[in-house]
Amino acid sequence: MTLRNTSLLKTSFSLLMLLSLLCCKPKEATQPKPNPAPVPPPTPINYTFETTPVWQDDFEVAGLPDSTKWDYDTGGHGWGNQELQYYTRKDPENARVDSGRLIIEAHRKTLSGSSYTSARLVTRGKADWKYGKFEIRAKLPSGRGTWPAIWMLPTEWNYGNGSWPDNGEIDIMEHVGYDPGQIHATIHCNYYNHSKNTQKGGRILISDASEAFHVYTIEWTPNEIKAFVDQTQYFQFPSSYSWQTWPFDKKFHLLLNIAVGGSWGGAQGVDESIWPQRMEVDYVRVYKLKEE
């Protein structure tokens, strides 16, 4: 081995040692990142309502219902519930304003294949609302076969199958004549509806509902729907984040009607001797939601 080769070997050995030291140098310890601060829960919102109605009808002008506020659903064919009435349009026998009250009156009268006539007034196309407080002061008809309702349907049908019950229904007041005084408030949606016998509702006994006026109310907010009679709450339904259980995040309109018979109203038959029967409405008032 020559001197030149010996020097080369020494130099190579030194380089290998240096590389070994560099490769074996321990890594600096990595400090763990602190956990992010917990996100506080959202502050609950206290929803209240304006004290002046944003929409109302006190029925002060006699004659046909105010055409700037009310339209009509018309026709027969059972309305999906095997009902017996034909809903007329602009017929004062079935819907009129008299002495400061709206009169919706059902008659035993044959029309277009139906055995009874009645009226179904709607605010669709005139007024609708997303949330609010809805007050209706009314006196109800009586007798087996009567089925009055104060309720709400969506103006847009854009959830699920585009039909009922996917888009929701809010029943402010229903009463069937064979069960006198039992007032019902109910919601219907994809998960909860009467076709599945899963509807969510409450009831309260108002023994003189057909003899005296009472105020039927719902309070509808992003949090819940609550129902009252004369300020006594008897039903509450909480909101959720699914259209299947809460399609109540869009505008709905009001309906007032008397059905005759049907799958519920006629469950114990129809007394043919009681007609005509009327629902009298003293006022309808809608209060806008406000946030505090």
Cα 168 from Cα 184, distance rounded (Å)? 17
Q: Which of 83, 174, 219, 280 is labelled catalytic?
A: 174
Rounded to whole angstroms, the Cα distance separating 165 from 187 reads 10
The model's pTM: 0.85
Tokens coding 32:
């763990």
Distances, alpha carbon 147 to alpha carbons 15, 108, 174, 205, in Å: 100, 14, 7, 16
Helix (H, G, I), strand (E, B) or coil at 102: strand
pLDDT by residue (tens digit) across 100-135? 999 999 999 999 999 999 999 999 999 999 999 999
Q: Which whole number is the average pLDDT over 5-11?
A: 44
Q: Quick one: tokens of 128?
A: 């609708």
Q: What is the pLDDT of residues 58-107, one digit of tens each?
A: 999 999 999 999 999 999 989 989 999 999 999 999 999 999 999 999 99
Q: Which of 83, 105, 169, 280 is catalytic?
A: 169
287, pLDDT greater than 50 = yes
Name the region of 112 (left: φ>0; alpha: ψ -120 to 50; beta: rest). Answer: left
User: Which residue in this structure is represented by tokens 């944003």?
Assistant: 54
240-276 per-position pLDDT tens digit: 989 999 999 999 999 999 999 999 999 999 999 999 9
Q: Would you place residue 27 in the very low, low, confident or very high pLDDT band (cuts 50, 70, 90)?
A: very low
Options 2.40.50.100, 2.50.20.10, 3.40.50.300, 2.60.120.200; CATH of 47-291: 2.60.120.200
Q: Where are the domains of the chain?
A: 47-291
Q: Is 174 a catalytic residue?
A: yes
pLDDT score for 100: 98
